[in-house]
Structure 1
Amino acid sequence: MCNTNLFSITSLNRCNCLITSLSRASLADMLPVLVVHGGAGHIPKKRVQLSCAGVRAAVRGGYSKLQGQGSAMDAVVEAVTLLENDHHYNAGLGSVLNIKGEVEMDAIVMDGRYLASGAVSAVRKVANPVQLARLVMDKTSHLCLTGEGASQFARAMGVPEVPEESLITEYARMRWKKNLAADANPVECQMGKMGTVGAVAVDAEGNIACATSTGGMLNKMEGRVGDTACIGCGGYADNRVGAVSPTGHGEAIMKVTLARLILFHMEQGCSAEAAADEALAYMKERVGGLGGVVVVDPQGEWSARFSSLQMAWAAAQQQTLHYGLYAGEHFTQNIDDPY
């Protein structure tokens, strides 16, 4: 049976089987929908408001694409691009640093229509890895490019190269230096970083997409690739089932192929929230990993779920903006209302 013990945010009912409320609302009324996250974990108090503001801005930007008849892929890439450009997150500008004090970023996109996907890993000197991942999907026959090969492809596609220093913030450098100390507590240092970013969407045509982007793990080994660039781990989208974008400890997510595991539970009849609960509980029990996800299904049911202390999230549906950070939080406002 589907586990329902974790914190729940969903746009429809909380049953662990197929949706019944659609008999009261047409599919067209529920679409489009966009859900984003800004990372699961522990966010320092002085950065909480900035984290919440960032996901709201990203969901507004992505939702505007959907309102303008843009595709689900357009929406998730726009939302994640906005989060990559916000230095309060661990993606693009503001990415955490590896053991050598350098930026190496991963990103993935997936189009649920054809199971098309593109990813990049360990990329440097690119402002928006999620846009490069989309180019991999659209312009190559491959699913993932890494390191220098990804950089060469970016240059061939005319993607501007930016100085690495332009992606490094003082906050990221401070966390890096603190974790180098002989008496550093690795768990505490990881808690102080901001999170991976991601988005899932269903557009007005019923097409589904996901996107995820990250700077990875603080003080990671050079060349380390986490879950984000791996299909089925850092994201998955299938028009027949739904889409997932996860955040959390990458190695744990990879061990259970978290994104695909959630969609497996949905294929068995679980709702988006119940499937997320089941998979997150399994990851915690089996490999001791904490994390969070945003999930959406083809009918527009969405969920933002996490087993960690916090996860910044926001969603837009039916002209309403939803958002929260702590367990039990669910704030709403009209999408057009000022902040």
Structure 2
Amino acid sequence: MDPVIVVHGGAWAIPDQISEASVKGVKTAASEGFAVLKKRGSALNAVELAVRAMEDNPVFDAGHGAVLDADGEVELDAIIMDGKTLAAGAVSSIRNISNPVTFARSVMEKTDHVMLTDRGANLFADGLGIPKLATETLVTENERKEWEHYQKYAQGVKELFNAQWDHDTVGAVAVDCDGNVACATSTGGIRNKMVGRVGDSPIIGSGGYADNHSGAVSCTGHGESIMKVTLARLILFHMEQGKAAGQAAEVSLQYMGERVHGGGGAIVVSNKGDWAAKFTTERMAWASVKEDIMSYGLNPKEIFSEHIQD
């Protein structure tokens, strides 16, 4: 079958000054992931590589673009899931690691567990020899200034969500030539969040889910709302009931908005290659590649297409 990859760079009120860089970043990530699929590589490898590309890009709140918590530290979360076996790996509240998605895959492949968190996760990373980076390396100068501003004016997480300024996560979903699906999601959290706060991103069924019987989903937005409705699994439930990927995402996001008043977005791919990128926030940078055609967008109801070069 024709492989497909879809990526997102976070559903939030992306400011104009980084909108172009955000779109460029997701297009690059989608291209790198699709290059794996085009060589008959696995969906799992494709989503990991795509998310790593965004973790390495400081325009996104993941890895090198992470935000600071209330103590001025970086705490990172990520998940990766293989739809063929339902194997999953997740990490939360990890520090000073540039590519949490790859670390999450290590949890999946090298332990008997699904999730490791905080001190234990960091000890496991040390045991694997994963290099640690200084906090300053993962945080941009602009983020440090923004954090200091919020500290000065004592603006809390609730106000940040009301402003829809800091809803940022990255993710990827894919189906490969063999019909296997996978998902990956990674985030640096919310600026000024409580130390130890974990959102939806690393939670199986909320921030992401993949099952060859239906498809794969990666979510972004208000983490607490996403967890309350287990958004990723809810979308796949609607697909299992016969809805197309786009309709399943729209119905689920609408339900989340009505039921718990949360905004967000999701990228979806079915096991047949049907895909969608939907959101209820002001903007979401996303891109997909299928049959050498890249589609991408930023604003509601916006979709552009171009042929990618070999």
Per the shorter chain, which TM-score range?
A: over 0.9
From the superposition, tell whether residues 190 and 160 of structure 1 become closer, same or farther in structure 2 (CA, over 3 Å). farther
Q: Which runs of 5+ in 2 are unaligned?
A: none
Tell me by how many angstroms 1:179 deviates.
1.4
SS in structure 1 at match of 2:78: strand
Aligned twin of 2:301: 328
SS in structure 2 at match of 1:200: strand
How big is each residue's C-alpha offset from its partner over 1:303-331, in whole Å with a ceiling of 9 and x where there is no partner?
00001110000000000111000012111
How big is each residue's C-alpha offset from its partner over 1:59-87, in whole Å with a ceiling of 9 and x where there is no partner?
01111111122100000000000000000
How big is each residue's C-alpha offset from its partner over 1:142-197, in whole Å with a ceiling of 9 and x where there is no partner?
00000111111112222111112210111211221121133647237963347200
In the alignment, structure 1 residue 286 sits paired with structure 2 residue 259:
yes
In the alignment, structure 1 residue 197 sits paired with structure 2 residue 181:
no
Contact 2:167-2:190 at 8 Å conserved across structures? no
Contact 1:89-1:194 at 8 Å conserved across structures? no
Structure 1: how far apart are the matches of 2:113 and 2:214? Answer: 24
Aligned twin of 1:212: 185
Structure 2: how far apart are the matches of 1:183 and 1:212? Answer: 30
- What is the one-letter code of the residue matched to 1:156? G
- What is the one-letter code of the residue matched to 1:75? A
Contact 1:272-1:295 at 8 Å conserved across structures? yes
Aligned twin of 1:39: 10
| Percentage identity across paired residues of the two chains | 52
Matches within 5 A, 1:283-322: 283-322=256-295
SS in structure 2 at match of 1:93: helix
How big is each residue's C-alpha offset from its partner over 1:192-246, in whole Å with a ceiling of 9 and x where there is no partner?
3472000000000100000000001111000111111110001000000000000
Structure 2: how far apart are the matches of 1:188 and 1:144? Answer: 26
Structure 2: how far apart are the matches of 1:189 and 1:264? Answer: 29
Contact 2:11-2:264 at 8 Å conserved across structures? yes
Aligned twin of 1:14: none
Aligned twin of 2:210: 237
The CA RMSD measured in Å over matched residues stands at: 1.4
Contact 2:181-2:271 at 8 Å conserved across structures? yes
Aligned twin of 2:68: 97
Q: Which runs of 5+ in 1 are unaligned?
A: 1-27
Contact 1:198-1:246 at 8 Å conserved across structures? yes
Structure 1: how far apart are the matches of 2:271 and 2:262? Answer: 28
From the superposition, tell whether residues 263 and 194 of structure 1 become closer, same or farther in structure 2 (CA, over 3 Å). closer
Q: Which has the larger radius of gyration?
A: 1
In the alignment, structure 1 residue 182 sits paired with structure 2 residue 142:
no
Structure 1: how far apart are the matches of 2:127 and 2:134? Answer: 18
TM-score (norm 2): 0.97
Aligned twin of 1:106: 77
